[in-house]
A and B are shown apart, each in its own frame.
Chain A
């Protein structure tokens, strides 16, 4: 079964510092990996995805993620955090089972708190 894990419930970082939000995955076959962000009282917004190609994927709002096959990780990164980046971040893997429904399996979410 496909799954993703986000080991940190919360990440705290000072504004201007680099940030990393961790995600590890377990899949059979090639992984289709995603990051979504949820601002308070809002729906999820797509940040970026990895399907094939370069291991470093660039996404919205200056975020990027690094796919590491040997470590089965897909950590989200940003070189310089902004207070406005404070939100709940979800890593997800696309289920590519026999029905190929495209459903997303989400990690438990990581709250990012950026302090001025």
Chain B
């Protein structure tokens, strides 16, 4: 019944690895997002997709590549992970301005 679900909840990996975070929403929303929350709790948008099309890419390194196979899914793939990528990544979907967030994926790069 979870509206926006993302997996995994925790991800610990070594520098240089490639990893993916998956996100699914069952709300029927057309727009999905990835946000990054850093260690100081600042939240910043990374990507936005509308109906499977990329509409925002906020100066994110091209090691980060979102993929939307359908409008209910927005996955985030990260290549060549760096220490600075350690953060909590939130997926969200929205309708009429109100956003619903997943529980977050805490990524730790060691």
Q: Which residues of A contact B (CB under 8 A)?
A: 32, 34, 36, 41-46, 49, 51, 88, 90, 94, 99, 101-106, 108-109
Query: Which of B33, B42, B90 meets A103, CB within 8 Å?
Result: B33
> Closest CB of chain A to B89's CB: distance in Å?
11
Measured between beta carbons, the chain A residues less than 8 angstroms from B44 are: 106
Measured between beta carbons, the chain B residues less than 8 angstroms from A43 are: 4, 90, 101-104
Total chain B interface residues with beta-carbon distance under 8 A: 24
- Bound-complex Cα distance A102 to B95 (A): 9
- Bound-complex Cα distance A105 to B4 (A): 20
- Bound-complex Cα distance A43 to B6 (A): 11
Nearest opposing residue in chain A for B41, CB measure: A109
A101 touches B101 (CB 8 A): no
Query: What 0/1 readout, one digit per residue, does chain B (1-41) give for beta carbons within 8 Å of chain A?
Result: 00010000000000000000000000000010100000011
7 A-B pairs closest in CB distance = A43-B101, A106-B43, A44-B101, A43-B103, A103-B45, A101-B48, A109-B41
